[in-house]
C-alpha cells in the first residue's frame, strides 16, 4: 500500500513539472519540420535554427506519445505478472522510474539551460552596435524572417516595360495569288490571248498611223484589284503624304509599286476597281511620247478605238463595239 502511495506521489510531482513544460515547448509536435512557404526564398540562419528546434520537438513528441506509454505499460505488465517476485517488481520499478526521469529531463532541458544561462550569460553585453539581448534568441528565430534579406547584395532584375506594337492604320497590299497576275507583276504586262481578236489588229493600225507603245492589254481581275489597291493606298488614303514612322515600310513598298506601274510623275489618275475594259478584253494602254495630240482622237476613231482621255490616265483606249478594223 505504501509503495502505491509513493508511486502516485511521484506521478503527481512529475505531472506538475511536465504539463507546463509541454505547453511551453509546443508538444505534441507532428510537423511540418520545414514550412511550405520557405521553399520560395533563400533560407538563412534562423531557418536552420527553427528546423533544428522542430526536429527536437518531434523527437520529444515521439518519446512522450509513443515510447513513454509503451514503457509504462511494460512496467505495469511486470508488476501484474510478478506479484510476489521481488526481482520482477524491482525491474518494473526501474523501468517506470527511468521512463519518468527520462521524460522529465527531456522536458526540463529548457529549464536547466535557463538556470545555467542566468548565472553565466550577460544579456547587456555588446559587440560594436549589437547587444546580445535575451539568451533564448540564440536558439530561436527571434521573430525574424527565415529568408535571407537580399537587399543591397543582389540587384533586383530589371523588368523591361511591355512592348506595345503599333501598326500602320493603312492596310498593306493584298498578295497576288493568280498565276497571270503574278506573270504580269513579274514584267510581262502585255497579254493578248484573252482579248477580243479585233483589238490587237486595231491597235497595230493606230500605232502605225500615230506611233506609240502598248504597255497593257488584258488584265485578270486579281491584277486590276492590285492596281486599284495601289491607287487607293497612295492617293485615297493619302499614304504619299503620311509621315507616321510606323507607316514608313508600307509607304516605301507602295511608292515602288506606283513608280513601277504608273511612273514617278503619276498624278493619281483613275483606276477602276472592277468592270474594267482590260478585264473584258476590250481595253488597252498605249503610251505615246509628247507631241501632237490633235489627231489622236480622229485616228483612234479610224482605228475603231475610243480615246476617253481620262484625267491622269491619257494612255487608255477602248475598242469600239461592232467596228471592223480593216486596213
Q: What is the pLDDT of residues 184-238, one digit of tens each?
A: 888 888 888 777 888 888 888 888 888 888 888 888 888 888 989 999 999 999 9
Do residues 215 and 170 lie in contact, with contact meaning Cβ atoms separated by under 8 Å? no
The C-alpha cell at 110 is 529548457
Residues of the chain with CATH 3.30.1380: 179-319
Q: What length is written for the chain? A: 327
Buried b / exposed e along 43-59 (16+ C-beta atoms within 10 A): beebbebbbebbeebbe
Q: Report whether CATH 3.30.1380 matches the domain 179-319.
A: yes
pTM score of the predicted model: 0.45
- Which pLDDT belongs to residue 232? 92
Say what percent of the chain tops pLDDT 90.
7
CA 273 – CA 239 distance, rounded (Å): 18
- Which pLDDT belongs to residue 173? 92
Do residues 187 and 289 lie in contact, with contact meaning Cβ atoms separated by under 8 Å? no
The C-alpha cell at 74 is 511494460
Backbone φ, ψ for residue 285 (5° rounding): -110, 125
Which are the contacts of 70, defined by CB distance < 8 A and separation ≥ 6? none
Q: How many Cβ atoms sit within 10 Å of the Cβ of residue 81? A: 10
**What confidence tens digit (pLDDT) does each residue in 15-39 have?**
444 444 444 455 666 667 777 766 6
- For the ranges 76-90, 102-116, 121-135, 213-227, the maximum mean pLDDT occurs at 213-227
> Integer distance in angstroms from the first to the last C-alpha of the chain?
152
**What confidence tens digit (pLDDT) does each residue in 255-306 have?**
999 998 888 888 888 888 876 788 888 888 888 776 566 788 888 888 889 8
Which are the contacts of 288, defined by CB distance < 8 A and separation ≥ 6? 210, 211, 212, 213, 296, 315
Enter the DSSP assignment of 293. -
CA 246 – CA 50 distance, rounded (Å): 59
- Which pLDDT belongs to residue 152? 55
Please state, rounded to an integer, the average pLDDT across all residues of the chain: 77
Q: How many Cβ atoms sit within 10 Å of the Cβ of residue 40? A: 7
Residue scoring higher pLDDT (63 or 1): 63
Dihedral over alpha carbons 180, 185, 186, 187 (to 10 degrees):
100
- Which pLDDT belongs to residue 233? 92
Counting DSSP H helices and E strands in the chain, the numbers are 11, 6
Q: What is the rounded average pLDDT of the residues 304-313? A: 82
Backbone φ, ψ for residue 213 (5° rounding): -135, 130
Amino acid at each position: 500500500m505504501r509503495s502505491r502511495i509513493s508511486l502516485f506521489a511521484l506521478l503527481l510531482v512529475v505531472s506538475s513539472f511536465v504539463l507546463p513544460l509541454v505547453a511551453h515547448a509546443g508538444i505534441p509536435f507532428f510537423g511540418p519540420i520545414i514550412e511550405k512557404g520557405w521553399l520560395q526564398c533563400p533560407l538563412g540562419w534562423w531557418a536552420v535554427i527553427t528546423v533544428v528546434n522542430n526536429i527536437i520537438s518531434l523527437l520529444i513528441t515521439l518519446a512522450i506519445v509513443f515510447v513513454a506509454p509503451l514503457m509504462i505499460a511494460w512496467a505495469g505488465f511486470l508488476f501484474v505478472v510478478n506479484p510476489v517476485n521481488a526481482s520482477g517488481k524491482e525491474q518494473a520499478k526501474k523501468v517506470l522510474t527511468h521512463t519518468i526521469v527520462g521524460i522529465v529531463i527531456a522536458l526540463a532541458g529548457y529549464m536547466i539551460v535557463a538556470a545555467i544561462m542566468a548565472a553565466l550569460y550577460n544579456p547587456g553585453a555588446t559587440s560594436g552596435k549589437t547587444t546580445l539581448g535575451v539568451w533564448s534568441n540564440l536558439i530561436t528565430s527571434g521573430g525574424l524572417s527565415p529568408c535571407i534579406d537580399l537587399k543591397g547584395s543582389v540587384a533586383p532584375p530589371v523588368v523591361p516595360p511591355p512592348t506595345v506594337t503599333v501598326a500602320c492604320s493603312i492596310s498593306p497590299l493584298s498578295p497576288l495569288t493568280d498565276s497571270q497576275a503574278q506573270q504580269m507583276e513579274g514584267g510581262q504586262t502585255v497579254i493578248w490571248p484573252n482579248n477580243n481578236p479585233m483589238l490587237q489588229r486595231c491597235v497595230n493600225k493606230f500605232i502605225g498611223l500615230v506611233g506609240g507603245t502598248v504597255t497593257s492589254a488584258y488584265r485578270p481581275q486579281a491584277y486590276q484589284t492590285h492596281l486599284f489597291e495601289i491607287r487607293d493606298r497612295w492617293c485615297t488614303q493619302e499614304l504619299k503624304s503620311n509621315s507616321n514612322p510606323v507607316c514608313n515600310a508600307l509607304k516605301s513598298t507602295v511608292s515602288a509599286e506606283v513608280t513601277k506601274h504608273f511612273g514617278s510623275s503619276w498624278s493619281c489618275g483613275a483606276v477602276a476597281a472592277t468592270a474594267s475594259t482590260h478585264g473584258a478584253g476590250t481595253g488597252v494602254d498605249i503610251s505615246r511620247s509628247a507631241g501632237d495630240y490633235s489627231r489622236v482622237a480622229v485616228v483612234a476613231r479610224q482605228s475603231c478605238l475610243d480615246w476617253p482621255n481620262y484625267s491622269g490616265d491619257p494612255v487608255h483606249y477602248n475598242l469600239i463595239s461592232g467596228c471592223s478594223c480593216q486596213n
